[in-house]
Amino acid sequence: MLSLSTQDKVYLCLESIDFRKQINGLIQLTQSILKKNAYSQNYFAFINKKKTSVKILHFDGQGYWLHQKRLSKGKFKWPLGTEDQINLSAMELQVLLMNGNYRDAKIQQDWNKVA
């Protein structure tokens, strides 16, 4: 189970990638396609061409984690777009990984108590 906090930043690569790539290959894609620092402790999500599997790269300060989820049936509702990436909240990523449509989900906005 992937556990994210509301402060975590998530970047989705909209372009499908070759899933033979492992951590080093995904670090390179993070820098070349997403134009982000792979050491930033953000989450970077990638989809395969069939849209049946997702890989998430994350640096925790000591090393890299590589998470993968493969559906046994169906395809992920991966967003389309003309950009290379989109930003999601932690909750939107959880909805997407449960094979839901994060755009239709009724997710409460985060709030901070003003002192």
What are 45's two structure tokens? 């999500």
Count structural domains, the chain. 1
Give yes or no for residue 63 having a pLDDT over 70. Answer: yes
Does residue 91 lie in a domain region? yes
Give yes or no for residue 107 having a pLDDT over 90. Answer: no
Does residue 23 lie in a domain region? yes
Does residue 3 lie in a domain region? no
Does residue 1 lie in a domain region? no
Does residue 110 lie in a domain region? no
Do the beta carbons of residue 49 and residue 16 sit within 8 Å?
Answer: yes
Burial-class residue 114 by CB neighbours within 10 Å (0-12, 13-18, 19+).
Answer: exposed
Tell me the pLDDT tens digit for each residue of 90-102: 888 888 888 766 6
pLDDT of the residue at 43: 96
The pTM of this model reads 0.85
Does residue 45 lie in a domain region? yes
pLDDT of the residue at 64: 96
Structural domain harbouring 62: 10-97
When pLDDT is averaged across residues 110-115 and rounded to a whole number, the result is: 60
